[in-house]
Every structure is written in structure tokens, then in C-alpha cells.
Amino acid sequence: MSWPEIVYLQPKITGLTSKFWEGLKNRKLLASKCNDCGERFFPPRGLCPKCLSENIGWVELSGKGRLHSWTEVHYLTPKPYMLGVIDLAEGIGRMVSRIEAKQEELEMDMPMRIDFIDVSDKLTLFIWKPDKLPRP
């Protein structure tokens, strides 16, 4: 399915998430990092879950992960698409996102890599692809 067939909801970009969206525009997956204790966490938060500090910065993640679970979605699109749960390689959380692959290509715990989609001049989103597939 080509990307124009999908209708995108515009995210609410706030002071807390603006660096995350800016990172995607620059082809980087960013997570929050506590500048006091060094704890990394995703999704972005304004408070460190470990030490409760508000001194939060950003760190680039590898864009790698492992497929935890997936499902084929048959809703609001002309063709079904894959939606998956990815365990981030850094061990700091999971992401739910669209997967660019066919169901028969997917396996539990398989390596995944992030890719970026420019939806507009102002918005870049991400998808995950099996890491064993060749890059375009």
C-alpha cells in the first residue's frame, strides 16, 4: 500500500514533544534522558521516572529493535496494513507503530529497523521494517 492511501492525524506538538518531532524530521529517533542520573526513557516525559528530576535532555537511539507482537489491521484503509509492538534495542521501552512488511515475512523477536516518511514539509513520521529486508 502506498503512503498517500493513508490519512494521517496531525500530532499535537507540545513543548515536551517538540524535540522528538524535530528529531524525526532530521531522521533521528530521540528519547528523553535525565541530565542528573543518566536514566533514558521513552516516550518523552517532563520528569525522570528514576530520580524525579526535571532536568531532562535528549539522546539519539539506534533505530533498532525487536518485534514483540503484531496484527493485521483492516480499518479505515483500502487495504489492510501491519501494526506492531517493537521492543527498543536500548531496552528502555516499546513503541507501537506501522510495520512495512507482509504478515508472512514477520516472526516473533525478529530484528527491526526504523525508517522515516515525510508526510508533509512540516511532518515526518516513522515506520518499522524487518532488518533482514534490503534497504530501498
Residue 1 is predicted with a pLDDT of: 46
The predicted-structure confidence for 63-80, as pLDDT tens digits, reads as follows 999 999 999 998 877 888
Residue with cell 527498543: 88
Q: What percentage of the chain reaches a pLDDT higher than 90?
A: 71
The predicted-structure confidence for 95-105, as pLDDT tens digits, reads as follows 999 999 999 99
The predicted-structure confidence for 14-64, as pLDDT tens digits, reads as follows 889 999 999 999 999 999 999 999 999 988 889 999 999 999 999 999 999
Listed residue (106, 135, 103, 116) closest to 3, CA to CA: 116
User: 94 - beta bridge partners?
Assistant: 87
Statement: residue 93 has pLDDT above 80 = yes
Q: Are 90 and 62 in contact (CB under 8 A)?
A: yes
* d(C-alpha 27, C-alpha 21), whole Å: 10
User: 71 - beta bridge partners?
Assistant: 83
- This prediction's pTM: 0.84
Q: Which grid cell is 47?
A: 520528569
Residue with cell 533521528: 28
Listed residue (131, 106, 128, 103) closest to 117, CA to CA: 128
